[in-house]
Structure 1
């Protein structure tokens, strides 16, 4: 059974998170390893752990000084653990965390093929489909009642 935990970039789990993001998100689309870490130092990091190994991760990046808006980014689940509810656990944890922190709105640049996954959490599509890193995306947002 996996557990979800918030970590810091100083955590030993952070290196496992980085490798998972490289494997699942970056390498398949030709982005160099560690090529999407520009927001890591200012973001909150959440990992799914099983037997002391990171099997899933997501980050929440504040978008304003007041930290009233944030972006869910870099969601990844190891291939052999996909379809087992790990992603749902990560998003549930992140959304509860965001609400406790007083964040009023969470946005996502969701790959179009997984947009329906986020809709189950109350996210709505805002605007037209767009291309980012060579992949079709939707802009999604949800307002939080704190």
Structure 2
């Protein structure tokens, strides 16, 4: 497989708008997340990343800088391109970008059935399971791992 080209894109640029369309495809159409929950004000200030393969945006995520960590969110890969390492490469590129800007603490909320994927990337789950977009999720982080405790 050809490696995807991955890079940050400005909000509301043509490529970022393609990323928003991909998020709608994955989260709203496939996973039935209410559209009003999928889009939020963080999109205006987040750093958006895209993965491009075969001339199209096939993956996306966003980074939100918060005081205590950088939140990775809205990780989405077009269905036909899943299982090819696109999400893993997107996350690695986004984290490398943040590291280059002095950030070294990362947080995310993962759909509960995706925990193993993020664990392989160095994240640990903590806290209680909660519902987001109608699906069970867990908070995860890649720092303070020794203090991470699941609550059921």
Alignment of structure 1 residues 13-92 onto 2, 5 Å: 13-27=15-29, 28-32=31-35, 35-64=38-67, 69-92=69-92
SS at match of 1:25: helix
Secondary structure of the corresponding residue to residue 129 of structure 1: strand
Which TM-score applies when normalising by structure 1?
Answer: 0.88
Conserved? CA contact 2:64–2:70, under 8 Å: yes
Specify the alignment match of 2:121 in structure 1. 121
Match of 1:137 in 2: 137
Trace 1:88-99 onto structure 2 (pairs within 5 A): 88-99=88-99
Correspondence 1:7 to 2:9: yes
Two-structure CA RMSD over aligned residues (Å): 1.8
Q: Distance in 2 between matches of 1:35 and 1:93?
A: 23
Tell me the CA shift for residue 46 of structure 1: 0.7
Gaps in structure 2 of 5+ consecutive residues: 145-152
Determine the C-alpha separation between the residues in 2 that align with 1:81 and 1:53.
Answer: 11
